Structure 1
Amino acid sequence: MPIHRLPDNPSIERLRKQAKTLLRYVRAGVPEALGLVTEFHPRAPETLKLSDAQLVTARMYGFASWPRLKEHIATVERYSRSPHRVAPREELPEEFLRLACLTYGTDYPGRTGEADLLLARHPWLPTANVFTMAATGAADALADALVENPGLARAQGGPFEWEPLLYLAYARLDTPGSYLPAARLLLKHGADPNAGFLWDGLTSPFTVLTGAFGGGEGHQPPHPQGPALARLLLEAGADPNDSQTLYNLGLGGSCSDDTAHLQLLMEFGLGLGDGGPWHARLGPTLQSPRQLLRDELATAALRGCPRRARLLLAHGAEVNGLGGHPAYGGRTPYELALLNGHTEVAETLAAAGASAVLDEMEAFTAACMRADPDAVAGFGPEPLARALARSPELISSAAEQRKPAAVRLLAGLGFDVNHLHRSTPLHAAAWNDDIETARTLIELGADPTIKDPAYDSTPLGWAEHGGKQRVADYLRSLGRE
């Protein structure tokens, strides 16, 4: 049996209950429970005890023993932070820092601008403490403070209980600061270039490097001196196998075909080594450096990024390696490229030795997504009828993938341009700030007044919330017309 994924923000009490439940099921003769014992207990006794059930529970999550699992959970608790849950603070320096930094949960447009207003009203804030000095890049004041007390470079404090280097990397202020000199000072006085936290207990660390690069599901902006800051951190020893950076600029972000961050990380050893201090702390819950490369190639195939695919293959990524995230569906990169209509990526992977066999419905989907009307027509009416019945969300996938030609083809085949599941195709175009797809959908009859079921918001609401100005302006113009 495969190793199971440990739940996010794990609780030792929940795992104890899980072990007790396993023991009860084993004693009741439940086949699935007996199978777990056979698979994961190295020397299963005739009569199982609670300690045996705890050992099986630990091993099924990839840990050698129950004490190792407990140690891991203690590590998660030690590094867990929830910056997005921190309430407004009465103390001005604390409130300034709360507003000035990305939190990956409350990063609404204009939020950091509120911190800029506080700076304008209270010019003493940059030198209030070592954390505001770092967030504003007040290098001269920071130099004086560190001469007096070098230990401040690794102190934890402020609203998020972060080290100064984290406030520096996650700050997003309009007022330019001397961030590189400030970062050099902190590193010189002992700041950890691999400092980070576990966001809400999730075991993919948000490191200083993550903050420098930005990105993510909210398309958070990079640090104003991001590339230079990232290089400085890497030169100081930051591990390049930074899983959250890769997610934020890949599967979990806008995933453009830009390769600058990958080239920089590869220069310092992405895909190599032991994964650094965070891998030592979190063990089997973090992907290996090689698996990170597999995931990156799968992401390039899923999202249609040919430059990334070529770079990753040249760097040694396995052409048929499987990505570990559920979004890849257990597909090879080549299958992902074909099924999502990314012809250039598919050709690149085929040239590198990839191959795939698609069944009829998969081949039909691939033809639709690459907007090939002749190939679609060649399948006849039966696959189309099945696709309309079983996969009405295909048109949403085309919109999410920024494929207006595929959207037009699918609409002509009878797919509903207003198909609503989690959202409509127009919501997807709005969130992507993809004006070409948005215009295509409107021309085909998309209704811009439909609200999604989760947030009760129109596509314009999504665009405004995400700061997607081009599509927001376009959708507002429809109302004026």
Structure 2
Amino acid sequence: MAASLPNNPSLDRFRRDARRLQRAVRAGVPHAVSLVERHHPDGMRVDRSAFTLTDAQLVVARGYGFASWPRLKRYLEIAAELRRDPVDARPRDDAERFCALACLQYSAADEPARWAEAADLLTVQPDLPARSIYAAAVVGDPEAVRAHLAADRSAATRDGGPFRWVPLVYLVYSRVAQSDAVATARVLLDSGADPASGYLWQGLPTPFTALTGCFGEGEQGPGRQPRHPQWEPLARLLLERGADPNDGQTLYNRMFGRDDSHLELLFDYGLGTGDGGAWRQRLGDATESPAEMMRRQVDWAQAHGFDRRLALLARHGFAPDTAPSSTAAPRPPSVHAAGSPEAVAAAVRAGAHVDAYEDGHSALHQQAWIGDVEMVRALLAAGANPDLLDDMFGMTPLAWAEYARQPGTAAILRSVTGSTR
């Protein structure tokens, strides 16, 4: 699969990168020479002056995980059609503004206050769903959607609104109150909506699908990017209608917390098997294969001490490749790698420092962010300091919980700190 591309990748950018690389190699810049040695199939040639632009383009492409420059170019051509940038949306009217406020856009702007603002706008203008099928989908109103489809049946598959999504995607990414989300989804699917609908967020190769919207969560945490209230029946409906269970963005978004309900449901429909479905057919090796997705899940669960998840993955045929060598140096205990309250206590008994920092924050910061009440209590019981400041923002675990809209962990931390810094 392709390595991590920059947001909104463009061919012009990669052409400039290749020209800079060519000049740097010819000048003998060590970092540039190292890139060639790592990514060019012939390594670094003795005569650097013979390093061509074609060579540089190949190194750039392989550095991003593409086998060749033409394959990188082909991906960018495909991505141009599927790319959407919700962060850069410019609503043209109140119906579009309502949709933009009501839906997850997967940025730092996601939070309940936006959805409350959308709800207020709908209260003032209750006819918004009648004006736009996208607004009708956002509020999950099957009758309003039927009325739009009666006037124009092709509207079920037409992208539009502030994010240029199809109605089904607005439905599952909406986080305002809905009349009947499942019935509305069924109306759209019966009218030709694709259960594999989705888009490439800022042109990156892991698609944000309708399934992704159902399962929710992600880097901003479940308080700011929650799962859809009807995530399970909606996801089952999409899977029954043909959505592929190998949804890489869902697996990524949901892997940070201990809850495995997404995996259990996806395994019911064949997670880890098949060819990757419609999105892999479109994107090819730019996106992960089912086997690569599952390897990532196993590696994450093993590194973070998620023993229950490892057992679930193993039951379905996905387990670590080998047991640790008896001659390998034992890994020091870490509360960051503790996947349960019991593991926190065991790690501390084995000598782990409960306030150790990883990536600039303590384990208490991280668990406060994702809203794991049991883990926060376990860390505090093990002696974690609730007044520590992270290295990035100078904030306490309580401030992380409050920013992440996690009332459960915030309440616990507030009772022991009384500070919001």
TM bucket normalised to smaller = 0.7 to 0.9
**Is 1:279–1:286's contact at 8 Å kept on the other side of the alignment?**
yes
**Is 1:430–1:438's contact at 8 Å kept on the other side of the alignment?**
yes
> Secondary structure of 1:474's match?
helix
**Is 1:460–1:472's contact at 8 Å kept on the other side of the alignment?**
yes
**Is 1:216–1:254's contact at 8 Å kept on the other side of the alignment?**
no
1:246 aligns with 2:245: no
Measured in 2, the distance between the counterparts of 1:414 and 1:428 equals: 17
Measured in 2, the distance between the counterparts of 1:305 and 1:420 equals: 17
Measured in 1, the distance between the counterparts of 2:135 and 2:85 equals: 19
Task: Report the CA distance between 1:407 and its aligned residue.
Answer: 6.2
Measured in 1, the distance between the counterparts of 2:364 and 2:4 equals: 36
Task: Report the CA distance between 1:274 and its aligned residue.
Answer: 1.9
> Secondary structure of 1:110's match?
helix
Alignment match, 2:328: 359
Q: Which moved more, 1:400-409 or 1:62-71?
A: 400-409
Measured in 2, the distance between the counterparts of 1:123 and 1:426 equals: 43
Alignment match, 1:409: 349
Measured in 1, the distance between the counterparts of 2:264 and 2:352 equals: 43
Alignment match, 1:166: 169
Unpaired stretches in structure 1, ≥5 consecutive residues? 321-331, 333-353, 370-393
Q: Residue 326 of structure 2 aligns to which amino acid in structure 1?
A: V
Alignment match, 2:390: 452
| CA distance 1:434–1:147, change in 2 (3 Å) | closer
1:436-447 equivalences under 5 Å are 438-439=376-377, 447=385
**Is 1:404–1:436's contact at 8 Å kept on the other side of the alignment?**
no
Alpha-carbon displacement from aligned partner over 1:88-128 (angstroms, at most 9, x marks no partner)? x5732122111211122122233322222222332212222
Measured in 1, the distance between the counterparts of 2:347 and 2:310 equals: 25
Alignment match, 1:263: 264
1:101-140 equivalences under 5 Å are 101-105=103-107, 106-140=109-143
**Is 1:450–1:458's contact at 8 Å kept on the other side of the alignment?**
yes
| CA distance 1:91–1:291, change in 2 (3 Å) | same
User: Which residue, 200, 224, 227 being the options, matches 1:222?
Assistant: 227
Task: Report the CA distance between 1:196 and its aligned residue.
Answer: 1.0
1:475 aligns with 2:419: no
User: Which residue, 201, 205, 208 being the options, matches 2:210?
Assistant: 208
**Is 1:25–1:33's contact at 8 Å kept on the other side of the alignment?**
no
1:70-109 equivalences under 5 Å are 70-86=73-89, 89=91, 91-105=93-107, 106-109=109-112
| CA distance 1:420–1:276, change in 2 (3 Å) | closer
Q: CA RMSD in A?
A: 3.3
> Secondary structure of 2:361's match?
coil
> Secondary structure of 1:39's match?
coil
Alignment match, 2:296: 295
**Is 2:305–2:338's contact at 8 Å kept on the other side of the alignment?**
no
Task: Report the CA distance between 1:185 and its aligned residue.
Answer: 1.9
Alignment match, 2:311: 310
Q: Which moved more, 1:444-453 or 1:240-249?
A: 444-453
**Is 1:195–1:207's contact at 8 Å kept on the other side of the alignment?**
yes
Q: Residue 267 of structure 1 aligns to which amino acid in structure 2?
A: D
**Is 2:387–2:417's contact at 8 Å kept on the other side of the alignment?**
no
Measured in 1, the distance between the counterparts of 2:374 and 2:59 equals: 53
Q: Aligned pair count?
A: 406
Q: Which has the larger radius of gyration?
A: 1
> Secondary structure of 1:194's match?
coil
Measured in 1, the distance between the counterparts of 2:152 and 2:127 equals: 20
Alpha-carbon displacement from aligned partner over 1:5-47 (angstroms, at most 9, x marks no partner)? 2523333223213332444456567864664444389xxxx95
> Secondary structure of 1:198's match?
strand
**Is 1:400–1:432's contact at 8 Å kept on the other side of the alignment?**
no
Task: Report the CA distance between 1:165 and its aligned residue.
Answer: 0.6
| CA distance 1:317–1:221, change in 2 (3 Å) | same
Measured in 1, the distance between the counterparts of 2:98 and 2:307 equals: 42
| CA distance 1:399–1:123, change in 2 (3 Å) | same
1:431 aligns with 2:369: yes
1:234 aligns with 2:234: no
Q: Residue 249 of structure 1 aligns to which amino acid in structure 2?
A: R
Task: Report the CA distance between 1:479 and its aligned residue.
Answer: 5.0
Task: Report the CA distance between 1:164 and its aligned residue.
Answer: 0.6
Q: Which moved more, 1:233-242 or 1:5-14?
A: 5-14
Q: Tell me the TM-score normalized by structure 1.
A: 0.74
Query: Which one scores higher on RCO, CA 8 angstroms, separation ≥ 6?
Result: 2
Alignment match, 1:189: 191
